[in-house]
Structure 1
Amino acid sequence: MRSILLAAAAFVFAGAGTASAQSLSPEQAKAFVVGRSFAFTCFEGTTGAGRVFPDGSVAGTLTLRSQGIARYVRLPPNTLRVRGENVCGFVEGMTFEPCFTVVKTSETTFRGTLAGVDTMWCEFVREGAERPRVASRRKPKPDTSSAVTLESSAE
Protein backbone atom coordinates (compact mmCIF):
# COMPACT_ATOMS: atom_id res chain seq x y z
CA MET A 1 0.00 0.00 0.00
CA ARG A 2 2.91 2.37 0.68
CA SER A 3 4.14 1.98 -2.91
CA ILE A 4 0.69 2.84 -4.24
CA LEU A 5 0.53 5.95 -2.08
CA LEU A 6 4.10 6.92 -2.88
CA ALA A 7 3.43 6.58 -6.59
CA ALA A 8 0.14 8.44 -6.40
CA ALA A 9 1.34 11.31 -4.25
CA ALA A 10 4.52 11.80 -6.20
CA PHE A 11 2.45 12.40 -9.33
CA VAL A 12 1.04 15.56 -7.82
CA PHE A 13 4.33 16.91 -6.55
CA ALA A 14 6.30 16.72 -9.80
CA GLY A 15 6.75 19.85 -11.85
CA ALA A 16 8.05 21.77 -14.83
CA GLY A 17 11.09 24.00 -14.95
CA THR A 18 14.76 23.68 -15.71
CA ALA A 19 16.36 20.31 -16.46
CA SER A 20 18.45 20.32 -13.26
CA ALA A 21 17.09 18.76 -10.06
CA GLN A 22 14.39 21.02 -8.68
CA SER A 23 11.86 20.85 -5.82
CA LEU A 24 8.52 22.47 -6.61
CA SER A 25 5.61 24.00 -4.79
CA PRO A 26 2.38 21.99 -4.73
CA GLU A 27 0.80 24.50 -7.15
CA GLN A 28 3.61 24.10 -9.71
CA ALA A 29 3.49 20.36 -9.35
CA LYS A 30 -0.27 20.16 -9.80
CA ALA A 31 -0.12 22.25 -12.98
CA PHE A 32 2.48 19.90 -14.45
CA VAL A 33 1.00 16.55 -13.42
CA VAL A 34 -2.81 16.64 -13.40
CA GLY A 35 -4.27 15.01 -16.50
CA ARG A 36 -0.94 13.61 -17.74
CA SER A 37 0.19 9.99 -17.69
CA PHE A 38 3.34 8.68 -16.06
CA ALA A 39 5.04 5.28 -15.87
CA PHE A 40 6.89 4.49 -12.65
CA THR A 41 9.34 2.10 -11.01
CA CYS A 42 9.79 1.96 -7.22
CA PHE A 43 12.71 0.96 -4.99
CA GLU A 44 11.36 -2.52 -4.19
CA GLY A 45 10.40 -3.41 -7.79
CA THR A 46 6.82 -2.17 -7.99
CA THR A 47 6.03 -0.80 -11.47
CA GLY A 48 3.05 0.75 -13.16
CA ALA A 49 1.52 3.65 -15.02
CA GLY A 50 -1.26 6.05 -14.19
CA ARG A 51 -2.89 9.44 -14.21
CA VAL A 52 -3.81 11.96 -11.49
CA PHE A 53 -7.19 13.71 -11.76
CA PRO A 54 -8.11 17.24 -10.56
CA ASP A 55 -10.11 15.85 -7.60
CA GLY A 56 -7.04 14.10 -6.13
CA SER A 57 -8.02 10.65 -7.36
CA VAL A 58 -5.58 8.40 -9.20
CA ALA A 59 -6.15 5.59 -11.72
CA GLY A 60 -3.77 3.26 -13.47
CA THR A 61 -2.05 -0.09 -13.46
CA LEU A 62 0.20 -1.54 -10.80
CA THR A 63 2.44 -4.62 -10.58
CA LEU A 64 3.67 -5.19 -7.03
CA ARG A 65 7.37 -6.08 -6.78
CA SER A 66 7.37 -6.96 -10.49
CA GLN A 67 5.44 -10.15 -9.75
CA GLY A 68 2.27 -11.25 -11.47
CA ILE A 69 0.10 -9.33 -13.85
CA ALA A 70 -0.63 -5.63 -13.82
CA ARG A 71 -3.75 -4.76 -11.82
CA TYR A 72 -6.03 -1.81 -12.42
CA VAL A 73 -6.11 0.49 -9.37
CA ARG A 74 -8.41 3.45 -8.73
CA LEU A 75 -7.85 5.56 -5.61
CA PRO A 76 -10.84 7.78 -4.68
CA PRO A 77 -11.12 11.59 -4.74
CA ASN A 78 -9.08 13.38 -2.06
CA THR A 79 -6.51 10.57 -1.90
CA LEU A 80 -3.87 13.19 -2.69
CA ARG A 81 -4.03 16.32 -0.54
CA VAL A 82 -1.91 19.41 -0.12
CA ARG A 83 -0.86 20.01 3.50
CA GLY A 84 1.04 23.29 3.67
CA GLU A 85 4.07 22.81 1.40
CA ASN A 86 3.65 19.03 1.22
CA VAL A 87 1.61 16.57 -0.79
CA CYS A 88 0.24 13.77 1.33
CA GLY A 89 -1.61 10.57 0.54
CA PHE A 90 -4.72 9.54 2.45
CA VAL A 91 -6.09 6.00 2.38
CA GLU A 92 -8.89 5.06 4.76
CA GLY A 93 -7.71 2.52 7.30
CA MET A 94 -4.05 3.65 7.39
CA THR A 95 -2.87 4.84 10.79
CA PHE A 96 -0.97 7.81 9.34
CA GLU A 97 -1.03 10.10 6.31
CA PRO A 98 2.37 9.87 4.58
CA CYS A 99 3.82 12.96 2.92
CA PHE A 100 6.24 13.10 0.03
CA THR A 101 9.08 15.12 -1.41
CA VAL A 102 9.60 15.14 -5.15
CA VAL A 103 12.51 16.33 -7.22
CA LYS A 104 12.31 16.90 -10.93
CA THR A 105 15.30 15.19 -12.55
CA SER A 106 14.71 16.12 -16.23
CA GLU A 107 12.07 17.62 -18.51
CA THR A 108 10.11 14.36 -18.41
CA THR A 109 11.22 12.60 -15.21
CA PHE A 110 11.02 13.02 -11.45
CA ARG A 111 11.67 11.10 -8.24
CA GLY A 112 9.17 10.89 -5.38
CA THR A 113 10.53 10.02 -1.92
CA LEU A 114 8.72 9.34 1.33
CA ALA A 115 9.50 12.42 3.44
CA GLY A 116 12.41 11.71 5.76
CA VAL A 117 13.11 8.23 4.32
CA ASP A 118 15.51 8.52 1.38
CA THR A 119 15.50 4.75 0.81
CA MET A 120 11.77 4.63 -0.17
CA TRP A 121 11.32 6.21 -3.61
CA CYS A 122 9.70 5.89 -7.04
CA GLU A 123 11.06 7.16 -10.38
CA PHE A 124 8.49 8.59 -12.84
CA VAL A 125 8.65 9.12 -16.60
CA ARG A 126 5.99 11.11 -18.43
CA GLU A 127 4.28 9.15 -21.18
CA GLY A 128 3.00 10.45 -24.54
CA ALA A 129 0.45 13.25 -24.79
CA GLU A 130 -2.36 10.98 -25.90
CA ARG A 131 -4.39 9.19 -23.27
CA PRO A 132 -3.16 5.59 -22.94
CA ARG A 133 -5.62 2.72 -22.67
CA VAL A 134 -4.92 1.18 -19.27
CA ALA A 135 -7.85 -1.24 -19.32
CA SER A 136 -10.48 -2.24 -21.81
CA ARG A 137 -13.38 -4.67 -21.90
CA ARG A 138 -13.66 -4.53 -25.68
CA LYS A 139 -12.10 -7.14 -27.88
CA PRO A 140 -9.82 -5.66 -30.53
CA LYS A 141 -11.26 -5.49 -34.01
CA PRO A 142 -9.76 -8.04 -36.39
CA ASP A 143 -7.22 -6.72 -38.86
CA THR A 144 -8.81 -7.02 -42.29
CA SER A 145 -6.16 -5.09 -44.21
CA SER A 146 -4.53 -8.27 -45.51
CA ALA A 147 -7.67 -10.38 -45.84
CA VAL A 148 -8.29 -12.08 -49.18
CA THR A 149 -11.66 -11.36 -50.70
CA LEU A 150 -13.18 -13.97 -52.96
CA GLU A 151 -15.47 -12.63 -55.64
CA SER A 152 -17.67 -14.79 -57.75
CA SER A 153 -17.84 -13.95 -61.40
CA ALA A 154 -21.18 -14.27 -63.08
CA GLU A 155 -19.92 -14.03 -66.63
Structure 2
Amino acid sequence: MRSILLAAAAFTLAGVGAASAQTLSPEQAKAFVVGRSFAFTCFEGTRGAGRIFADGSVAGTLTMRSQGIARYVRLPPNTVRVREENVCGYIEGMTFEPCFTVIKTSPTTFRGTLAGVDTMWCEFVREGGSDRPRVASRRKQHKEESSSAVTAESAAE
Protein backbone atom coordinates (compact mmCIF):
# COMPACT_ATOMS: atom_id res chain seq x y z
CA MET A 1 0.00 0.00 0.00
CA ARG A 2 2.92 2.35 0.75
CA SER A 3 4.24 1.74 -2.78
CA ILE A 4 0.89 2.81 -4.22
CA LEU A 5 0.95 5.97 -2.09
CA LEU A 6 4.46 6.78 -3.30
CA ALA A 7 3.47 6.15 -6.91
CA ALA A 8 0.47 8.45 -6.50
CA ALA A 9 2.69 11.03 -4.84
CA ALA A 10 5.21 10.78 -7.64
CA PHE A 11 2.64 11.18 -10.38
CA THR A 12 0.49 13.73 -8.61
CA LEU A 13 1.71 17.12 -7.65
CA ALA A 14 3.55 18.32 -4.55
CA GLY A 15 5.89 21.05 -3.35
CA VAL A 16 8.58 22.63 -1.19
CA GLY A 17 10.90 24.94 -3.07
CA ALA A 18 13.81 27.34 -3.04
CA ALA A 19 13.54 31.00 -2.05
CA SER A 20 12.86 32.02 -5.68
CA ALA A 21 10.20 29.34 -6.11
CA GLN A 22 6.56 30.13 -6.82
CA THR A 23 3.78 28.34 -4.96
CA LEU A 24 1.11 27.37 -7.49
CA SER A 25 -2.60 27.26 -6.90
CA PRO A 26 -4.26 24.03 -8.05
CA GLU A 27 -5.42 25.79 -11.24
CA GLN A 28 -1.91 27.12 -11.96
CA ALA A 29 -0.42 23.68 -11.25
CA LYS A 30 -2.86 22.09 -13.68
CA ALA A 31 -1.93 24.57 -16.42
CA PHE A 32 1.80 23.98 -15.79
CA VAL A 33 1.70 20.18 -15.66
CA VAL A 34 -1.27 18.66 -17.52
CA GLY A 35 -0.40 17.18 -20.90
CA ARG A 36 3.36 17.52 -20.50
CA SER A 37 5.87 14.73 -19.85
CA PHE A 38 7.97 14.90 -16.70
CA ALA A 39 10.75 12.74 -15.29
CA PHE A 40 10.84 12.53 -11.51
CA THR A 41 13.00 11.41 -8.61
CA CYS A 42 11.69 11.05 -5.06
CA PHE A 43 13.28 11.25 -1.62
CA GLU A 44 13.47 7.47 -1.07
CA GLY A 45 14.78 6.60 -4.55
CA THR A 46 11.59 6.06 -6.53
CA ARG A 47 11.99 7.45 -10.05
CA GLY A 48 10.22 7.43 -13.37
CA ALA A 49 8.57 9.48 -16.06
CA GLY A 50 5.00 10.15 -16.99
CA ARG A 51 2.16 12.43 -17.86
CA ILE A 52 -1.01 13.64 -16.15
CA PHE A 53 -3.93 14.04 -18.54
CA ALA A 54 -6.75 16.62 -18.40
CA ASP A 55 -9.19 14.00 -17.06
CA GLY A 56 -6.91 13.33 -14.07
CA SER A 57 -5.64 10.00 -15.41
CA VAL A 58 -1.93 9.21 -15.21
CA ALA A 59 0.38 7.11 -17.42
CA GLY A 60 4.09 6.48 -17.26
CA THR A 61 6.91 4.34 -15.98
CA LEU A 62 7.88 3.79 -12.37
CA THR A 63 10.85 2.19 -10.63
CA MET A 64 10.28 1.84 -6.90
CA ARG A 65 13.22 2.78 -4.66
CA SER A 66 15.67 2.49 -7.58
CA GLN A 67 15.31 -1.29 -7.60
CA GLY A 68 14.18 -3.52 -10.39
CA ILE A 69 12.98 -2.64 -13.82
CA ALA A 70 10.75 0.26 -14.76
CA ARG A 71 7.10 -0.75 -14.79
CA TYR A 72 4.36 0.82 -16.85
CA VAL A 73 1.67 2.40 -14.68
CA ARG A 74 -1.75 3.62 -15.84
CA LEU A 75 -4.11 5.16 -13.29
CA PRO A 76 -7.75 5.92 -14.20
CA PRO A 77 -9.48 9.27 -14.75
CA ASN A 78 -9.96 11.39 -11.63
CA THR A 79 -6.85 9.95 -9.93
CA VAL A 80 -5.43 13.47 -9.72
CA ARG A 81 -8.04 15.99 -8.60
CA VAL A 82 -8.50 19.30 -6.86
CA ARG A 83 -10.01 19.22 -3.36
CA GLU A 84 -10.66 22.74 -2.05
CA GLU A 85 -7.22 24.41 -2.30
CA ASN A 86 -5.22 21.17 -2.67
CA VAL A 87 -4.14 18.83 -5.43
CA CYS A 88 -4.90 15.29 -4.28
CA GLY A 89 -4.31 11.75 -5.50
CA TYR A 90 -7.15 9.27 -5.22
CA ILE A 91 -6.54 5.55 -5.43
CA GLU A 92 -9.42 3.18 -4.76
CA GLY A 93 -8.91 1.14 -1.60
CA MET A 94 -6.65 3.65 0.17
CA THR A 95 -7.80 4.69 3.62
CA PHE A 96 -7.05 8.36 2.93
CA GLU A 97 -6.60 10.68 -0.02
CA PRO A 98 -3.09 12.21 0.01
CA CYS A 99 -2.94 15.89 -0.91
CA PHE A 100 0.02 17.91 -2.16
CA THR A 101 1.37 21.41 -2.53
CA VAL A 102 3.01 22.43 -5.83
CA ILE A 103 5.98 24.77 -6.09
CA LYS A 104 7.40 25.77 -9.46
CA THR A 105 11.19 25.95 -9.16
CA SER A 106 11.98 26.97 -12.77
CA PRO A 107 10.16 27.29 -16.11
CA THR A 108 10.48 23.50 -16.57
CA THR A 109 10.70 22.06 -13.04
CA PHE A 110 8.73 21.73 -9.84
CA ARG A 111 9.24 20.09 -6.49
CA GLY A 112 6.55 18.49 -4.42
CA THR A 113 5.87 17.25 -0.93
CA LEU A 114 3.02 15.50 0.77
CA ALA A 115 1.03 18.34 2.38
CA GLY A 116 2.35 18.92 5.89
CA VAL A 117 5.23 16.41 5.55
CA ASP A 118 8.26 18.25 4.15
CA THR A 119 10.43 15.12 4.31
CA MET A 120 8.36 13.29 1.62
CA TRP A 121 9.10 15.00 -1.71
CA CYS A 122 9.65 14.43 -5.42
CA GLU A 123 11.52 16.57 -7.97
CA PHE A 124 9.96 16.84 -11.45
CA VAL A 125 11.75 17.92 -14.66
CA ARG A 126 9.93 18.44 -17.96
CA GLU A 127 11.23 16.08 -20.64
CA GLY A 128 12.30 17.32 -24.07
CA GLY A 129 11.10 20.39 -25.88
CA SER A 130 8.01 18.67 -27.22
CA ASP A 131 4.72 18.16 -25.44
CA ARG A 132 4.19 14.87 -27.29
CA PRO A 133 3.92 11.79 -25.07
CA ARG A 134 7.18 9.88 -24.81
CA VAL A 135 6.78 7.30 -22.09
CA ALA A 136 8.74 4.53 -23.80
CA SER A 137 9.89 3.64 -27.27
CA ARG A 138 11.74 0.85 -28.99
CA ARG A 139 13.08 1.02 -32.50
CA LYS A 140 14.54 -1.99 -34.20
CA GLN A 141 17.37 -1.14 -36.58
CA HIS A 142 16.63 -2.51 -40.03
CA LYS A 143 19.25 -4.59 -41.84
CA GLU A 144 19.60 -1.96 -44.62
CA GLU A 145 20.29 0.82 -42.06
CA SER A 146 22.87 -1.35 -40.33
CA SER A 147 24.78 -2.19 -43.53
CA SER A 148 24.61 1.39 -44.86
CA ALA A 149 26.04 2.66 -41.56
CA VAL A 150 28.96 0.23 -41.86
CA THR A 151 29.51 1.27 -45.50
CA ALA A 152 29.46 4.97 -44.54
CA GLU A 153 31.99 4.33 -41.73
CA SER A 154 34.26 2.40 -44.11
CA ALA A 155 34.10 5.17 -46.73
CA ALA A 156 35.04 7.79 -44.12
CA GLU A 157 38.27 5.95 -43.24
Q: CA deviation at 1:135?
A: 3.7
Determine what percentage of the aligned residue pairs are the same residue. Answer: 77
SS at match of 2:117: coil
Specify the code of the residue in structure 2 equivalent to 1:42.
C
Structure 2 unaligned runs (5+)?
Answer: 149-157
Native 8 Å contact 2:35 2:54 kept in 1: yes
Aligned position for 2:70: 70
Specify the code of the residue in structure 2 equivalent to 1:2.
L
2:114 aligned with 1:114: yes
2:88 aligned with 1:88: yes
Native 8 Å contact 1:48 1:61 kept in 2: yes
Distance of aligned partners of 1:127 and 1:116 in 2 relative to their CA distance in 1, 3 Å threshold: same
Equivalents in 1 of 2:12, 2:146: separation in Å?
46
Equivalents in 2 of 1:143, 1:89: separation in Å?
46
CA deviation vs aligned residue, 1:94-135 (integer Å, no higher than 9, x gap): 000010012111121111100010110000001113335324
Equivalents in 1 of 2:43, 2:109: separation in Å?
16
Normalised by the length of structure 2, the TM-score is 0.82
Aligned position for 2:51: 51
Specify the code of the residue in structure 2 equivalent to 1:52.
I
Structure 1 segment 1-155 matched on structure 2, within 5 A = 1-10=4-13, 20-130=20-130, 131-135=132-136, 140-142=140-142, 144-147=144-147
Specify the code of the residue in structure 1 equivalent to 2:73.
V
Equivalents in 1 of 2:92, 2:56: separation in Å?
14
RMSD over equivalenced CA pairs, Å: 2.0
Distance of aligned partners of 1:126 and 1:133 in 2 relative to their CA distance in 1, 3 Å threshold: closer
Normalised by the length of structure 1, the TM-score is 0.83
Q: Which aligned segments of 4 or more residues in structure 1 are displaced greater than 4 angstroms?
A: none
- Judging by fraction of residues, say which structure has more strand: 2
Higher mean C-alpha displacement, 139-148 vs 43-52: 139-148
- Judging by fraction of residues, say which structure has more helix: 2
